[in-house]
Amino acid sequence: MKGQLTGLRSGALGWIGALALLLALAAPAHGATYQEDAVKAAFLYRFAAYVTWPPRPPDATFTIAVLGSETVAAQLERLLPHLRIQNRAAAVRRIASVEALGDEQILYVAAGQHLAAKTLAEKARAHSILVVTDDAGGLGTGAAINFVHVGRNLRFEISMTEAERDGLKINSGLLAVATRVERNGS
């Protein structure tokens, strides 16, 4: 039992260290305090390390699509040129509608896009796209991950049911640091 607890603590500490490094890369050049959108961008990048997608061409760019948040997209544009995701070049793509969704691996749907989130989640399922939302009840729209506030901290919850429907496998290391993991609607 003690070894399991140590493993969970080091997993959480690994997350904290990795996010600190990513935030340093995404931080505004003038040293301003971290914005919540920079934290969201860092999380989106980190999620990719804990998710397995169905096979794709090895030379394909790993793409994160963003709907409804210019600032999260801008933070990703600052962050991604310095990093690779699953040994691939990484890019961000802004989308404005369901029709614009292509073959991205992650789709971030900002707060206030509740109706679009449900439609996008349905389309994303056909392409095994990890849908991440930022709205109360986001998991109910078909998202696999939803950002939530716990006190003053930004955290996330996970729907294993949605991830499995999307053909995705989420590593237990990510599940261990989620505030809530929903399985089979519970």
pLDDT digit string, tens, across residues 101-141:
888 999 999 998 866 777 777 777 888 999 999 988 889 88
Per-residue pLDDT, 186: 58
Closest CA to 39 of 25, 54, 59: 25
Asked if residue 56 has pLDDT above 90, the reply is no
Mean pLDDT of 40-68: 92
Q: How far is CA 74 from the centre of its chain?
A: 15
Average pLDDT of the chain is 82
| 30 or 182, higher pLDDT | 182
Tell me the C-alpha distance between 20 and 165, whole Å.
32
Asked whether 16 and 27 are in contact (CB, 8 A), the reply is no
Closest CA to 100 of 79, 127, 77: 127
Per-residue pLDDT, 185: 55
Q: Which CATH number covers residue 33? A: 3.40.50
Per-residue pLDDT, 100: 87
Return the axis-axis angle of helices 36-47 and 2-26, rounded to nearest 10°: 120
The domain in which residue 162 lies consists of: 2-182
pTM of the model: 0.81
Mean pLDDT of 22-39: 58
> In total, how many domains does the chain have?
1
- DSSP code for 137: T
Question: Tens digit of pLDDT for each residue in 133-185?
Answer: 998 888 988 899 999 999 989 999 999 999 999 899 999 999 999 999 999 75
The region of weakest confidence among 52-61, 66-75, 127-136, 138-147 is 52-61
